[in-house]
Amino acid sequence: MSEPGGPPGVAARTAALRALGRIRRDAAWSQPALRAALDRAGLPAEDRALAAALVYETLRWEGTLDWALEQVSSRPLRKVEPVVADALRLGAWQLLHGRQPDRAAVSTTVAAAGEVAGKRVTGFVNGVLRGLARGRERLPWPDPATDEGLGLRLGYPAWIVAAARARFGERAEPVLAAGNDAPGVMLRATGGPAARDALLDELRAELRVQGLEPAPAPHAAASVHLGSNVDPDRLASVRQGRAVVQDEASTLVGAAAGALTPATRTDRGRRRAVDACAAPGGKATHLAEQGLAVLALDRHAGRAGAMADEVAAHPRSAALGVAVADGRALPLPDASVDLVLVDAPCTGLGVVRRRPELRWRVAPQDPGELAAIQQALLAEAARVVAPGGAVCYSVCTWTHQETAAVVETVEAAPPGTPQAALTPVEPDLGGAGTQLPGDPGIQLAPDRDGTDGMYVRCWHAGPAEA
């Protein structure tokens, strides 16, 4: 890798440093921020791949890198200028986990820091990184038997390690370690179930013509798996709406929820569904493909607008409506829809493979606060679902507070409330997921299922209609 007018590797690290700054400064998600930085930099494919790897790994190991830097820096990292801290983390990851020689890692990172923050910072960045290179073998890492020690070894805050140990027991370490694996790209072929096999064959053939090697998804029949170096935005099938980027766990939830609704509604025509927290819209479009008339809601106008743009390009967009509404106060009469999907806001710890920055953004109090929102969403879902219909609850996380504890609250509702009329039903998740001790729901996890860490619990509503 070389750049005209500069040492090899500097342009990639400069783009990575600018992306890290945008992610930190604006609390932006890593994928769109990185894509924008790479597009502005105009890097060749090999340097784009290097910059992307540096960004994702620096985000993934942020707390571990901060701890290591604190051992060799003359200043606490919290007192260092943010852009300089970003540069130090970028260099520290290369020294602790990268494969390039120390001298190259330090010099290129120092040069990138100078490009982004000015020459005034290069001396400090150089000194700290050289100190880490000299002293990394003597760092006093805590015992991995402790929550702090395992967290530093795997790249998680100690409180998340403690929560994983409470939830998974001996599986905690494999679950957390799997959250560091590159997940690759999963595509779901769009279209109705009747044409699924033909659509999948067409999608696979198209991808092979493009030099890709689509593999079958282990659990979701409508999906194919691609490698982690594929940019789905560059695929014609995605741009033209013949495939959507969706993890296998989300595809399984959409298929299971659609299958729980009554097969026919001769009294009211097409089955009606509400996706109460629908953005970005992948599950809503999947429900429409299964023949349901879907109202997709989000309480944020910006997200609803982006979702409407995506839906407009979908083959089943005529069966999809998008509106701005809070799922805790649905603009619907009692007992008026056949399915309510509550894919609730959560800590997102089940998707840290794709959003590595999440693990350092979530606070210990967040699971409890989000669980209260989830309970309110389910109470409203129980109000609007019609007898014979279904409510399906999913979250892309695994904390006890946001999974089993929420379900326990729903299923312990007092007689006479809408929730008391809900009867548990087992969704078909293609054989994925397990039931943890004392938890009636199904927990998917990357270590055993190769999917995002999605949790699912579904119910039928009251007696079926005559």
Residues tagged active-site: 396
**CB atoms closer than 10 angstroms to residue 159:** 16
DSSP conformation letters of 42-104: T--HHHHHHHHHHHHHHHHTHHHHHHHHHHH-SS-GGGS-HHHHHHHHHHHHHHHH--S-HHH
| Helix (DSSP H) and strand (DSSP E) numbers for the chain | 19, 12
Q: What is the DSSP string of 280-293?
A: T-HHHHHHHHTT-E
Distance separating alpha carbons of residues 398 and 191, to the nearest angstrom? 31
Q: How many CB atoms neighbour CB 82 within 10 A?
A: 14
Place of tokens 């790994």: 57
Dihedral sign for Cα 283, 192, 274, 305, please.
Answer: positive
Q: Which two tokens stand for residue 196?
A: 């699924």
Six token digits for residue 237 = 């099938």
Buried b (16+ CB within 10 A) or exposed e, 386-405: bebbbbbbbbbbbbbbbbbb
Measured distance CA(330)–CA(339) in Å, rounded = 13
CB 86: neighbour CB atoms within 10 A?
Answer: 26
Q: Give the Cα separation of 286 and 282 in Å (integer).
A: 6
Contact 455, 442 (CB under 8 A): yes
Per the document, the length of the chain is 466
